[in-house]
Amino acid sequence: MINEILILIIIGFVAGILGGMLGVGGGIIVIPALVFFLGLTQKQANATSLAFMLAPTGLLAVINYYKAGYVNVKYAIILSIAFFVGAYFGSLWAIKMPVETLRKIFALFIIVVGIKLFFSK
């Protein structure tokens, strides 16, 4: 129990640092960590990641970026609404999908994004 809590604290802290620094965390850090370190299935990790992000986990980072003039509020509102609707449909599809297929799609997505970022200017 203590080990589990410690692992979750470390995962959350690292995701918070990278989220505040790079804008990543839920998908790229938390989901693989939950699968590899705590043995969650892909569906459990996806759902848990969404559940913790539902609360204002990035609020303090957003405030800092907003004060510095980096937040495009119009874009954030539009993205928020679209994400809200998209997450609903994505969760419906994921629930019906075999875990192995979902895991492979997730892995392929990370690889493609990583390659694209690595070779972009």
**pTM exceeds 0.85 for this model:** no
Greater pLDDT, 9 or 80: 9
Q: Mean pLDDT, to the nearest integer, of 105-110? A: 89
Report how many domains make up the chain.
Answer: 1
Confidence of residue 26 (pLDDT cuts 50, 70, 90): low
What percentage of the chain reaches a pLDDT higher than 70? 94
Residue 42, pLDDT score: 87
Range of the domain at 98: 2-119
For 50, 70, 79, 88, the CA distances from 84, given in Å and listed in that order, are 11, 23, 8, 7
